[in-house]
Amino acid sequence: MITQRASGILLHITSLPSKYGIGDLGPEAYKFADFLSKAKQSYWQVLPLGPTSAKNGYSPYDCLSAFAGNTLFISPELLYEQGLLTRTDIQDRPLFPESHVDYRLAISHKTNLLKIAYDRFRCRPRSCDYEQFCFENKLWLDDFAMFVALRYRFHPRLWCNWPIELRDKKKHALTPMKAQLRDSIDREKVLQYLFFKQWYSLRSYCNQLDIRIIGDIPIYVAYDSADVWAHPEIFKLTKTKTPKFIGGVPPDRFSRTGQLWGNPVYDWQALKDKGYSWWIRRVKHNLVLFDIARIDHFRGFIAYWQVPGRSKTAKKGKWVKGPSEDFFDKLLEHCPPLSIIVEDLGYITPDVSASIAKFQLPSMKVLEFAFEGDPKTNTHCLHNHVKNCVVYTGTHDNNTARGWFRKEATPSQKNRLFEYLGRKVLTGQVHWALIRIAMSSVAKIAIIPMQDVLGLVEQARMNKPGTAIGNWSWRLCPRQLTLSTVRKLAKLTEIYGRV
């Protein structure tokens, strides 16, 4: 809950150090929490935790489920402590790259380890804890486990090309398939249990250190997901269950042809008729996972860019009115507004700003956007910040601070930055200049991407919107967390009253 002036770090789980090719919820996650505490940070922001796929470039914003966890984040070392893996299991591993995720290699190795852990788990008596997890999460877990099991059975076909009775989730077809796929279904449930058990343990540790976790809720879900298969009535689909329309944004600063996300758009009237129950459950679920949830692409609730389903770019879309304030009136009856941050970047119209103001929702300011346009109206400029906002040097969609300065900032933007600072700044120090500006803001929360704390260049960028490959792979190396970095970050946090 946002109640006082503080700061934190943005680092996704995939970016943590690990011996197993991809960041996970094991010892290095706890060491990172210790680093945050020593550096006097109060927040750890992560990206969505859902299961990703190669088809979508492993994007955490295009998951197989809006509720499930990414089982690649399960720590083999913690499974060893539970007796589900042996020392030989966890020591016999490939040579993984340290600075980035090789998804194919990491998935191959971890899939084998998780199969071993599951086989050992099912040989044990079923615990009350596991049974309780399955009962409490039944509304999404049963559909997700069945969807994943069917997805493996019919690979590489999309679910819209499965046998019609299974595509349409007919009970008479699902019942015999459940018997056939029983082991696969059980495995998915067990792995979800192990993921959430490890996640809640890490969150509890962070909370004990007075660190709160900020999570992320993408506005859309992937077409190839358990949610669309299980709830086709709340999406705009054709009679054959393919997307009639898909989401995206029109041409903007990131792309001349716009961003075509490929996600099916919601049938908001159908959602309204059901009291927005699916969305309310989704947000409540995330507020159990996290202390604060950031809702991505807030403007899509006011009006969203709808593109015909077979389009190759987002150019030929149109704006369609969303549920607007009616949705948030219902949502905030169940979820406290102080537990929500809204992402209000991009093309923001007065009605979007009015809704944010009405519900007093904290919005976002990004310093990489602060040195352009009219300083009187550019809300990213430091002098236009308000207390009820979160300021970032950059987000997961931005270049790193040094990368921006080296490759993207115009001479005019650099001059505006120099004028603000009252001096020129070297490329190698621009990240600390932006961090200092963020810390000095009146915004209640300042969030700094870990790449900016380390002063990394464009190769460490997390995502480049509009591109399909080479994203979501940067990783932190353990030796980069130095004592001097801890001291410098802690000092700035103290100076600007964010401890």
Q: What is the 3-state secondary structure (H, E, C) of the chain?
A: CCCCCEEEEECCHHHCCCCCCCCCCCHHHHHHHHHHHHCCCCEEECCCCCCCCHHHCCCCCCCCCCCCCCHHHCCHHHHHHCCCCCHHHHHCCCCCCCCECCHHHHHHHHHHHHHHHHHHHHCCCCCHHHHHHHHHCHHHHHHHHHHHHHHHHCCCCCHHHCCHHHHCCCHHHHHHHHHHCHHHHHHHHHHHHHHHHHHHHHHHHHHHCCCEEEEEECCCCCCCCHHHHHCHHHECECCCCCECEEEEECCCCCCCCCEEEEEECECHHHHHHCCCHHHHHHHHHHHHHCCEEEECCCHHHHEEEEEECCCCCCCCCEEEECCCHHHHHHHCCCCCHHHEEECCCCCCCHHHHHHHHHHCCCEEEEHHHCCCCCCCCCCCCHHHCCCCEEEECCCCCCCCHHHHHHHHCCHHHHHHHHHHHCCCCCHHHHHHHHHHHHHHCCCCEEEEEHHHHCCCCHHHCCCCCCCCCCCCCECCCHHHCCHHHHHHHHHHHHHCCCC
Q: Which two tokens stand for residue 39?
A: 């550096």
Enumerate the β-bridge partners of residue 264: 246
Average pLDDT, consecutive stretches of 10 residues, N- to C-terminus, the chain (499 residues): 85 97 98 98 98 93 97 98 97 95 98 98 92 98 98 96 98 97 98 98 98 97 97 98 95 81 96 98 97 96 95 93 95 90 91 94 97 96 96 98 97 96 94 98 98 98 89 96 97 98
Question: Is residue 186 annotated as part of the catalytic site, yes or no?
Answer: no
Q: Which of 24, 28, 62, 397 is catalytic?
A: 397
Among 343, 344, 368, 452, the active-site one is 343
Sheet containing 259-264: order of strands: 259-264, 245-249, 303-308, 318-321
pLDDT tens-digit series, residues 286-336: 999 999 999 999 999 999 999 999 999 999 899 999 999 999 999 999 998
Catalytic residue among 62, 188, 224, 296: 296
pLDDT at residue 3, rounded to an integer: 67
Provide the token pair at 9.
Answer: 């770090």
pTM: 0.97
Contact status, residue 337 vs residue 388, Cβ threshold 8 Å: no
pLDDT in tens, 118-163: 999 999 988 899 999 999 999 999 999 999 999 999 999 999 999 9
State residue 194 phi and psi, 5-degree precision. -65, -40
State yes or no: is 397 an active-site residue. yes
Query: 243 forms bridges with which residues in the sheet?
Result: 237
**For the chain, how long is the longest CA-to-CA vector?**
73
The pLDDT value recorded for residue 2 is: 59
Angstrom distances, CA of residue 406 to CA of 144, 411, 458? 44, 11, 8
CATH class for the domain made up of 6-495: alpha beta
Is the bond leading into 218 cis (omega within 30 degrees of zero)?
no
Q: Is there a catalytic annotation at residue 296?
A: yes
- Which pLDDT belongs to residue 398? 97
pLDDT of residue 254: 67
Residue of 199, 202, 204, 214 whose CA lies nearest to 42: 214
